[in-house]
Structure 1
Amino acid sequence: MSDGKEWYLEYEIHKNRPGLLGEVSSLLGTLGINILTINGVDHERRGLLVVSQDDKQMEQFLIAIKKMETIYLTKVRQPTLGDRLAVRHGRYIERDTGDRKTFRFSRDEIGLLVDFMAEVFKMPNHPLLGIRGLPRVGKSESIIAASVSANKRWQFISSTLLKQTIRTRLSDDERSQEHIFVIDGAVSKRSGSESHWSLIRELMRLPVTKVIEHPDTFVTGTEFSMNDFDYIIELRSHREEEISHGVSPTPYFSWPYFNS
């Protein structure tokens, strides 16, 4: 971890010209502010992660940057998870304006989605995530990739990734907080026995990270609600694709082991 205090800076380019980025970088360097990462986060905006040794350095930077007519500083703050990912990937995560815990991705943003979930999986408060999306869009695969990236082990409680999985018990080793527990809400609602739901209720009480596919279907007719979720992820094949909330997905295999 870098010494000093991290900041996220974002500026809008009013008049682009050669050497503009170098001027900003030189100004930061002159003031003793180190640049960790820099990237374009939009067509006319750039984002930077920087480290200052004290607040006075940032105050001096803000005074100086206001004198530059070619750019306009739009954000100065402690970096959020979204800021870090925006600089890393060169784009912001789309967030629902009405429900701030809902984040939207399309298939061409799988890398961004995996990084986002991996960072959430590393959080010490063991969040509950829900992920919406039509069959075969990449939900389970993204969860596995994010678990690997976060150096966590994944454990399917219900799934149809390879064959239908309906777990009714876990060994002591499988109850580790280093596991990511994955539940397919549609499979559990359709095929889960009482012992299966007893296991789910036990996991919901434990301080472990859980990811529930088809969360709207999962909560229907149960004691759980959408308010229990810390994050809701929507994954689409393309931006215009509609996701029906609360409706079990159509089975997409007819074989006995691929029946959901």
Structure 2
Amino acid sequence: MDGNYQDYINRVVQMTLPSNYKQQVKNIQSSPKFVDGKAIDFPGFSVITPPEKEETNNKKFYSYLQEIQTQITQELPENLFLPVPPQSFHLTIADLIWDTSYTNAVKENPDFDNLLISEIDKIFKEYAQLNPEIDTLELEVLGLSVFPRAIAVCLAPTEDSYNPIIKLRQLIYQNEQIIKLGIEQQYDFVGHITLGYFDKVEDNIDREQVELVIVKTNEQLVSKNLPTFELSQWELRKFTDMTNFIREQNWASIKVGN
């Protein structure tokens, strides 16, 4: 599914154009992952960068995203936007399985977790053998995007950084055992860091005001000389909800660069 580098740039740039915010804001919906401002059970697995609280390379980057997140929260209508804990900020490399698909898989096969953990470990080892020397990957901020249920900062890898990400995704999604576990690619890659989710989207919200807040905040975001996001490690993580991403020490992990 994932296209070439130019396909990626064309697609994701469109998602961050202020001229598209009006239509995006029309489509916002309350996220089912939160109820009354609290994250509800939403279990699954994904391949992500270490969450902010465990990060070492992107502290300044995440610090500024937290400022942007606070500004959006304060300026949007009350109870509309629910920020995620900044300590949970991360970049998703590959979605694997979640929600009812995951709970049903575990019911059908109580050993599901162990099988998935083992297979991802094999894939990561294969990837490391095929790509023994990869520099730290770099991604630059493109701007804010309004998803139907969330607001995120979208990122663009450099061309040299894009291909290693896509190669990993191909190894995962084309793996026969992964497919047998019921996991399939459902989305093209979109490098993004979620700032928060829509909580209570009332029928009478002032959507023009929402759009203006997003436009203004995006202007501030892209005018800053932000450091690039350094992707130096990705890991298999299990999540219990959209704020809690955990892993055991022996689960698959890859470090790139120095």
The TM-score bracket by the shorter chain reads under 0.3
The structure richer in helix per residue is 2
TM-score by length of 2: 0.21
